[in-house]
Amino acid sequence: MVSPELIRRYPFFAGLKHANITALADAASEQVEDASHVFFRENETLQKFFLLLEGAVAIVIELPDNNEVQPVSDQLLGAFHTQDVVVSTVGPGDVFGWSGLVPPHTTSAKAKALTPCRVLAFDCKTLLDNFNEDCEFGYLMMQRAARVIRNRLHDMHIQSLASAAT
């Protein structure tokens, strides 16, 4: 558990009832991670949702490396060389790992620390149980998660346009 006052400071949680902030605090733990720490990889089942307190995190998609020769046998086996493409950067006060809140809870990208980071990690099972008990709380949190998803899609769209222009 972390202090509810710590959570209350962040705009993502603005307007939630005290009981909701307390439920979030009960589901949270603080983590400190080194630069290059991978919080999760693409296609993993995610059980945590994160609030970045300090540092920077890249949301990354791995794509085949077009600068390397990819033998057909490697391609068939899925053993081709990849490169990381940053589609979004998360800063202090931002959340990431929304997949933990949205079924099927499978990640669509990788999250990697660019600098040393301090995060709050929220246990999604606990949160989802709370959402089932308090539907208004669940609705408000899913609205916020939808905004994050919309922003990530926008970032990916901009990234794809930039890639197409080069």
Contact 20, 4 (CB under 8 A): no
CATH number, domain at 9?
2.60.120.10
Higher pLDDT pick, 64 / 98: 98
Higher pLDDT pick, 52 / 152: 52
Give the pLDDT score at 166. Answer: 66
- Residue 67: give the domain boundaries: 4-165
Banded pLDDT at 162 (limits 50, 70, 90): confident
How do residues 113-159 score in pLDDT, each as one tens digit? 999 999 999 999 999 999 999 999 999 999 999 999 898 888 777 77
Contact 90, 23 (CB under 8 A): no
Closest CA to 90 of 108, 112, 63, 61: 112
Contact 114, 49 (CB under 8 A): no
Give the pLDDT score at 72. Answer: 64
Residues 8 and 157: their CA atoms lie apart, in Å, by 32
Banded pLDDT at 57 (limits 50, 70, 90): very high
How do residues 77-90 score in pLDDT, each as one tens digit? 666 677 888 888 99
Residues 20 and 95: their CA atoms lie apart, in Å, by 17
Q: Percent of the chain at pLDDT above 90?
A: 71
Mean pLDDT of the chain: 90
Contact 44, 108 (CB under 8 A): no
How many domains is the chain built from? 1
